Structure 1
């Protein structure tokens, strides 16, 4: 298996040469990753040359439009979907809210929606509010001991009134990877649509959305080395069925139906930087490959293999202590590298102490308030969370372990 060239990867992130960040190890990537240089350069270039309304008939405006179109095309190729199935909006939270309003056009009072208590509130609250419109919301609850979602429990909730099943690809606390394709198949068997929150997964390698079988897949580009935009894949048959949320005269424009506020032109254009970075990593490790749908799986596996190696000593360290409870799987192959721990004090205070040792981590409930309640844990005390991605180094992990020894 090809091994990740960490020096090459880090050369694409100016954060690792930033004097103010020297001496710090970044372990809050689940809240937002560093941006790659390609994104920073594209954003800067857009503001300098084309910060105006795109798609008008003069050169600067035409160039702005081409850059925006290219970004959507490039992202679609890596996700193995069509470009007219991609929307970019201000955030995943906002995209989910708009999506929930759009789904009302294909639902009526008495229809059922299944949500989980494993989700970030962004992919839970918007759907739960549909009870105000007569929609019945059923909760697929985690096992209170493990925090996992049991497929057998979903089977008992599904019925001929189920119109939608929504759940995370992996939790931002438990980090256990849910079997999306299996869940999608079960929901489709009763005629329900599937919405998947991929925010905590996509930063560790873009998924093949087509293979997952989800009708909607959402994640945040600022957690995948890009600008602060939410990406939403809505498959064609679902998109055509949903009510437009934009201006009435734009109903025929596919990218305006579900982005009522209009796009942030500069950040949409800068999103191409993410795929340019992936292209550079792929060329360096694997050589030429014209098809982005094939480059995507290579990048996905390369990133995850490196992350699993990094996880192993940290998970072993946690197992060795009797004063720390790990949330989520002990096996690196079953989880994302978002490691949440319960200690003998609140998560934020532990994170504050770690910062004195050059560790950037965080503590809290991370908008998964319902999950902590489902685990019989105090959401206000929360957890200590250390999260990393492929640009994290073995030296960072060793520094974290020493800091945890000192703090715990």
Structure 2
């Protein structure tokens, strides 16, 4: 089927906003960036916002009464407000800035988990989790004698919700799972799973690293207790992430790190923690990065999350159709209408790293490896996969270039 069948909107102007997309990997070979699941490219609006902050308002926050300090504080807290509005949090105080999704999940494990869980308590995870949503719970389980159980992944890339229902009968304290798989692209039924977990008496921690950049996410509608995501996957800078948590939970959780800015008062032997969310943000935070995140959200909102989601649905549908034309190539995961813009695949007789290297010669950037999801790859029976992932700036012509390059890979390896 022709690419035109799937076209949703013209992205020529959007692509012009991303300087790196004009780069040639070598003479005459223009970059095709298909690795947005790892990190997204940055529009000029984000680059310029951070540059402007460093040129005109660089100062530490929440301390100085001088003009620069007040400007920096205003910009930082405006970013918090913007994040809260973007994911429909009740209050800006429910937004904690972290370094990334990984740190946000660790914050929940070390603060809420250490203070609330006891030996024998059950945490339910899934087989499709990124290591960021596995290892923190493994560490906590070893420390406190917790039980970990896992929702299996079916052969077609979905979570086995019948097993999930049976696990909930064991009265878990926490259910933690990804909104969208970074390998399979599977979009999980967060609201349904959350409602069931709450009826069983559990809290819900959602890894939103892949969903928040691509989907319209409303934490109140979903009902989740914790949500973690990263700026760099949603057009923003590296070095800053977000933990959303319900206000009542943040109030009862002890500080994650100790130091400056997370305190109200310090004496030699005692301290009084600051109000939320500041009690979880020890030391000088990523101020310029918060400014960049605010600019990234403003950019996404100007395009429209529904429009972005529709564009990516068209891209992945077209990509799956074209990938099926390549001999000996197997794509993992569900049908296009149940996945985001991610396609992980293996080519018979060719190692995924070899595929990625040859694609790079053609100017096409993809990821090869286990994508920080080793248990999932073990379940799939694959040592590694090659992953192509799409975002709002990708085109159908770039999908065609990917397919042409894969045919070259096939020809090289016979």
Name the TM-score, length of structure 2 as normaliser.
0.88
Distance in 1, Cα, partners of 2:105 & 2:352: 28
- Does residue 27 (structure 1) correspond to residue 34 (structure 2)? The answer is yes
Unpaired stretches in structure 2, ≥5 consecutive residues: 1-5, 265-272
The residue number in structure 2 matching 1:40 is 47
Name the TM-score, length of structure 1 as normaliser.
0.90
Query: CA-to-partner distance for each residue in 1:268-314, whole Å, 9 max, x for gaps?
Result: 12211112213432xxxxxxxxxxxxxxxxx2221111112222222
Q: Structure 1 residue aligned with 2:84, among 76, 79, 89?
A: 76
The residue number in structure 2 matching 1:333 is 337
Q: Structure 2 residue aligned with 1:53, among 34, 38, 60?
A: 60
Task: State the shift of 1:238 in Å.
Answer: 2.0
Q: Which moved more, 1:222-231 or 1:308-317?
A: 308-317
Q: Conserved in 2, the CA contact under 8 Å of 1:115 and 1:137?
A: no
Instruction: Specify the SS of the correspondent of 1:339.
Output: strand
Query: CA-to-partner distance for each residue in 1:81-118, whole Å, 9 max, x for gaps?
Result: 12111112111112211220012211122211112221
Query: CA-to-partner distance for each residue in 1:243-289, whole Å, 9 max, x for gaps?
Result: 222437352321233334552111112211112213432xxxxxxxx
The residue number in structure 1 matching 2:285 is 263
Task: State the shift of 1:205 in Å.
Answer: 3.0
The runs of at least 4 consecutive aligned structure 1 residues that moved more than 4 Å come to 18-22
Instruction: Specify the SS of the correspondent of 1:30.
Output: coil
The residue number in structure 2 matching 1:404 is 406
In structure 2, the CA distance between the partners of 1:160 and 1:258, relative to structure 1 (3 Å rule), is: farther
Distance in 2, Cα, partners of 1:260 & 1:368: 30
Unpaired stretches in structure 1, ≥5 consecutive residues: 282-298
The residue number in structure 2 matching 1:289 is none
Q: Conserved in 1, the CA contact under 8 Å of 2:41 and 2:235?
A: yes
Task: State the shift of 1:19 in Å.
Answer: 5.8
Q: Structure 1 residue aligned with 2:358, among 353, 357, 362?
A: 353
Task: State the shift of 1:36 in Å.
Answer: 1.8
Q: Structure 2 residue aligned with 1:215, among 209, 222, 225?
A: 225
- Does residue 125 (structure 1) correspond to residue 139 (structure 2)? The answer is no
Distance in 1, Cα, partners of 2:302 & 2:211: 21
The residue number in structure 2 matching 1:196 is 206
Task: State the shift of 1:74 in Å.
Answer: 1.0
Instruction: Specify the SS of the correspondent of 1:47.
Output: helix
Instruction: Specify the SS of the correspondent of 1:317.
Output: helix
Q: Conserved in 1, the CA contact under 8 Å of 2:120 and 2:147?
A: no
In structure 2, the CA distance between the partners of 1:279 and 1:116, relative to structure 1 (3 Å rule), is: closer
The residue number in structure 1 matching 2:248 is 237
Aligned pair count reads: 387
Q: Which moved more, 1:194-203 or 1:15-24?
A: 15-24
The residue number in structure 2 matching 1:87 is 96
> What are the equivalent positions in structure 2 for 1:4-403 lying under 5 Å apart?
4-18=9-23, 23-55=30-62, 56-81=64-89, 82-103=91-112, 104-143=114-153, 145-159=155-169, 161-228=171-238, 229-247=240-258, 249-250=263-264, 251-281=273-303, 299-329=304-334, 331-344=335-348, 345-378=350-383, 382-403=384-405
In structure 2, the CA distance between the partners of 1:54 and 1:127, relative to structure 1 (3 Å rule), is: same
Distance in 2, Cα, partners of 1:19 & 1:404: 20
Distance in 2, Cα, partners of 1:26 & 1:223: 13
In structure 2, the CA distance between the partners of 1:141 and 1:110, relative to structure 1 (3 Å rule), is: same
Query: CA-to-partner distance for each residue in 1:103-147, whole Å, 9 max, x for gaps?
Result: 221112221111222111011110111122334232324235234
Distance in 2, Cα, partners of 1:155 & 1:53: 49
Task: State the shift of 1:9 in Å.
Answer: 1.6
Instruction: Specify the SS of the correspondent of 1:390.
Output: coil
Distance in 1, Cα, partners of 2:164 & 2:33: 37
